[in-house]
Amino acid sequence: EAGVAQSPRYKIIEKRQSVAFWCNPISGHATLYWYQQILGQGPKLLIQFQNNGVVDDSQLPKDRFSAERLKGVDSTLKIQPAKLEDSAVYLCASSFGGSSSTDTQYFGPGTRLTVL
């Protein structure tokens, strides 16, 4: 079974530029998550989709971050404009069911973003 795919793996941009990350979840997984992992910290949830609807985006900085999952499969996370503090690893995860508490989330390899 293929895992969660993410691209690019690394990205270096200058502040005020824009950047986009792509995620393709495990086939058949209804729920997709984007996390931000700052160096030395655990992952923090940015947004959660169930199929193509947003379940929770309460921690997404909506003035600069946006995300979509138009067809209920792959997803794109965008930052525009980027700030220095956005330097982090952006992790995508997926789980089979809905928002069940018992579902295991499976993570992709992440995209390491460096903002100069």
Partner 1 sequence: AQSVAQPEDQVNVAEGNPLTVKCTYSVSGNPYLFWYVQYPNRGLQFLLKYITGDNLVKGSYGFEAEFNKSQTSFHLKKPSALVSDSALYFCAVRDGSDYKLSFGAGTTVTVRA
Whose tokens are 């079974």? That residue is 1
Query: In the complex, which residues of this chain contact partner 1 (CB under 8 A)?
Result: 4, 6, 40-45, 48, 55-56, 91, 93, 99-102, 104-110, 112
CB of 81 to partner 1, least distance (A): 27
- The single-letter code of the amino acid at 99 is S
| Alpha-carbon span 5 to 49, nearest angstrom | 16
Nearer to partner 1, 18 or 98 (CB): 98
CB of 18 to partner 1, least distance (A): 24
Three-class secondary structure of residue 85 per DSSP: helix
Nearer to partner 1, 27 or 101 (CB): 101
CB of 45 to partner 1, least distance (A): 6
* Cα dihedral across residues 46, 112, 104, 54: positive or negative: positive
Nearer to partner 1, 82 or 105 (CB): 105
| Alpha-carbon span 87 to 89, nearest angstrom | 7
